[in-house]
Structure formats: C-alpha cells, structure tokens
Amino acid sequence: MSQTTIDRFARLKALQRPSVLPLSGHAVGPVENPVVGEAIDSASGSVIGAERLALILGATVKRNGHGEHLSLHCWHGGHAACDPDAAALRLLAPNAPEDIADAQQWLFLDTETTGLAGGTGTYPFLVGLAWWEGGGLEVEQLFMREYSEERSLLVALAERLAERPVLVTFNGKSFDWPLLETRYRMMRTIPPPVPRAHLDFLHPARNLWRLRLGSVRLSQLERYVLGWDRGADIASELIPRIYLDFVRGGRAEPLVPVFQHNQMDLRGLAGLSGRILSLLGDKEGTSQDGLELYGVSRICERRGEAKRARRLYEQLIASALPEETDRVARAALARLAKRDGDFARAHELWESVLGNSREGYEAYEQLAIYYEHEAREPRRALALAREALDQLRRANQVGTVAATEYRRTKGRFEHRMLRLERKASRTLLDTFGA
C-alpha cells in the first residue's frame, strides 16, 4: 500500500471519531477522567461548574485575541453532501450568486439562547455549526461558560463563516442571524460577518408539509419526512433556564441534553435541506406525495416559474387530493391559464370550483368578468353575481363565513350586480329598439 493511500485512510479515520454525546437521549453516568484515569461520580461534586462541563463533554478551551470559550467537535456519519441543481436554488434563493451550488461552502447554524423572544438582552450562549466533510457531518459547538466569553465566541463564528460563507438555517433569517447581528453590534469592536448568501429552509418546509403535518417543528419533520426518531429530547422552552442556572453556579449535567438537542437540530437541518432541494429540483418523479407536489407548485408560482407551476397543478388535479386542496389547486391553475390567455381552460376550471368557499366566490367573480368582457353576455354575468350573493347569504345564516369576509365579498358582488343590471338593461333596450 502506498504512503499516499495510508495517509488518506489516516485522515478518514481521524474524521470518523465517535460522537461524545449519547444519541439515545439517556442521561450521562459516571465519567472517566482521561488524565488520571479515575472514575468521577456525577453526584460527587468533585469536579464542578465549567471544568466539569468540559470533562463530561470532552470539549476543549479555545483562546483567541478576545478571550476564551468552550469548543466541542464531533462527527456524524451517514450525511452525504447534497448536490443541488440550479432550478432548486433559483426557487429557494432567486437573487443569490450561482456559485452557492457548491455545498462545500455551506455552513449550517443553529443557536441556543437565553430567551426565545430575541432582543438586545438575549444571548446566544451555544452556537452550533456544521458542514459536510469526509462523507458525514462535522459539528462544532461554540459555548460561552460565562457572559464575558461572548467576544471570543463571536470571533470564532466569524472565522468559520469566512471559511464557509453560505449560511444555512431553519428560521435563522427571522431569529438566529438577526440575534447574532445584534450581538456583534453590541460588541462594537467586532464587525458583523456578512454571509455570501443565506438559505433558510423554514418557509419551503411550511409550503411542503404544513398541510399534511400541521406542525413544521424540526423534530416532527425529522420523524415524518426523513424517517428519523431522535428519541428523548429536551423541550426548547426549558433551555434558557438550564443555562441561567448554570452561570449562577448550578450543576453542569443538565446542559448535556442541551448540547445533544443542538446537535440533533443541526443533523435534522442538514438532512432536511437535501430533501427540500431534491423536491425543488426540476426532476419528474421526485415525489409521489400529492401534498408535497402541491407545495412545490405553490413555491414555483410565487417565484414566477409559471410554466412549471402550471404543469405541476395539472398533474395534481388529475390525482387524488383532499377536497379543499384540490379546490385551491384548481383555482391556482385557473389563474395561470387566464394569465396565459387560455380562457377556455380557465373557464372550465372556474366552473369546477363554484360554491361556498373562498375559491368558489373567486370563481363566481372570474366567470362574471369573463361573460361580461370576453363573451359579451352581461345577463349571464348578472346571473352569476346573483347566485354568488345567494350562496353568500346562506353561508352567513349558518355561520360558515366570517363576518368581515361576508361584508367585503357581499359589497363587491352588490357593486358588480348594479353595474351589470344597468348594462343588461341597455342590451335589452338596444335589442328591442332594433
């Protein structure tokens, strides 16, 4: 075996070190001191606070020009880097530079904070970072053992982002990254890093799976989309209190599940990003799930990919969808057909959704417009407006329409009906006069 091959295997073996945290969710028992080889009982208190936390986790102290922080590295296999195509990235980030398709530039980020509401008084005490490497996911967790270590942590984060400038998050555009930018500004001496691009997967996840799952929490998506079960997990709302207790002199052990939770979120984000980009890629047969395809159709429509959206909607309404989703898909397809000047197809679709629903009233209105302006049949348009008002009044009587929606829709149809009555009268007079 050549020396080059030996060196390559040595590097891979170094990457494939076992995770230092138990992924089963069970509590950590006695830990062996790697220096003196003695077992330390977690209840003995012989090693406490920050030193004990580093010992339990197997973490190391990192130093830079701004102080110290705790750093934990671990590697998780089974996470192959995704290979996103241009169509998927165009839907996810239409204004991003083209070279973000290089997944080796991606840096996954997830934070644990002292509060869930954000604001200048909220600290990101644990910053989890991950990137694809060596056929798996390399994870680094930056932890401030006390508030004075925030500068050191933020400098380390800026260095990682300089190495991998494409930030990847789940709700990070609304929470994690604005919070970190605030902390950089509060420090004053550390300029906030600027990602080359920011890919956030929360909103596409909502479009793809909220109809089917209701919740789009990351743990739910892992279970029902990725087929993973993270097992026992700490509730997010408990995390701020655990950290605050720690910095006030509390025990280190309750923080172990927090590190584990953060690792699992990073792994879930990496897996989910690959699944979403696979669905958004312009490839037929990626999914057989009608609700997933409906989500892709909506994303395409919103991003201006009208041709692809129309093709997907046509495919969807030919399949078995829940009644409400089918109705929404037909209405969306009708709008796209009208935009393309395909009035015959739009007319057919609007006819199929008439009734007591938001889409049904839109169909009445669109058909009235068609008969008034395209077919030049104001009396048919008037009949549709009257039918819509009858439907609306019945819905109001049985309470199936909100009061605000009832008033707004009623006013719109009454206004249209008055105009159509005048137009229909003039048509009758012209005919009679002739």
Per-residue pLDDT, 430: 56
Compute the average pLDDT of residues 372-396.
Answer: 92
Q: Could you tell me the residue ranges of all domains in the chain?
A: 15-200+231-266, 354-433
Task: Report the candidate in 302, 359, 358 with the shortest Cα–Cα distance to residue 330.
Answer: 359
Check whether 309 has a pLDDT greater than 60.
Answer: yes
Per-residue pLDDT, 11: 37
Please tell me the distance from the alpha carbon of residue 372 to that of residue 383, in angstroms, as a whole number: 11
Per-residue pLDDT, 12: 36
Q: Tell me the residue length of the chain.
A: 434
Residues contacting 9, CB < 8 A, separation 6+? none
- Cβ atoms within 10 Å of 37's Cβ, excluding its own: 7
Higher-confidence residue of 117 and 123: namely 123
CATH architecture under which domain 354-433 falls: Up-down Bundle (1.20)
25-to-22, 28, 57, 195, 257 alpha-carbon distances in Å:
6, 9, 14, 33, 7
Please tell me the distance from the alpha carbon of residue 284 to that of residue 429, in angstroms, as a whole number: 56
Residue range 86-101, pLDDT digits in tens: 889 989 988 888 888 8
Residue range 68-80, pLDDT digits in tens: 999 999 999 877 7
Q: Specify the fold of 15-200+231-266.
A: Nucleotidyltransferase; domain 5 (3.30.420)
Q: Confidence class of residue 285 from pLDDT cuts 50, 70 and 90?
A: low
Which of 8-12, 67-71, 151-155 bottoms out in mean pLDDT, i.e. has the lowest? 8-12
Residues contacting 117, CB < 8 A, separation 6+? none
Which of 3-7, 69-73, 124-128 bottoms out in mean pLDDT, i.e. has the lowest? 3-7
Per-residue pLDDT, 424: 72
Compute the average pLDDT of residues 287-305.
Answer: 89
Residue 145, CA atoms < 13 Å, CB-side half-sphere? 20
Check whether 41 has a pLDDT greater than 50.
Answer: no
Task: Report the candidate in 248, 270, 246, 272 with the shortest Cα–Cα distance to residue 259.
Answer: 246
Per-residue pLDDT, 30: 36
Per-residue pLDDT, 86: 83
Mean confidence (pLDDT) of the chain? 85
Positive/negative CA dihedral, 74, 77, 78, 84: positive
Check whether 119 has a pLDDT greater than 90.
Answer: no
Check whether 209 has a pLDDT greater than 90.
Answer: yes
Burial of 153 (0-12, 13-18, 19+ CB in 10 A): buried
Check whether 37 has a pLDDT greater than 70.
Answer: no
Residue range 413-423, pLDDT digits in tens: 999 988 888 87
Please tell me the distance from the alpha carbon of residue 80 to that of residue 394, in angstroms, as a whole number: 56
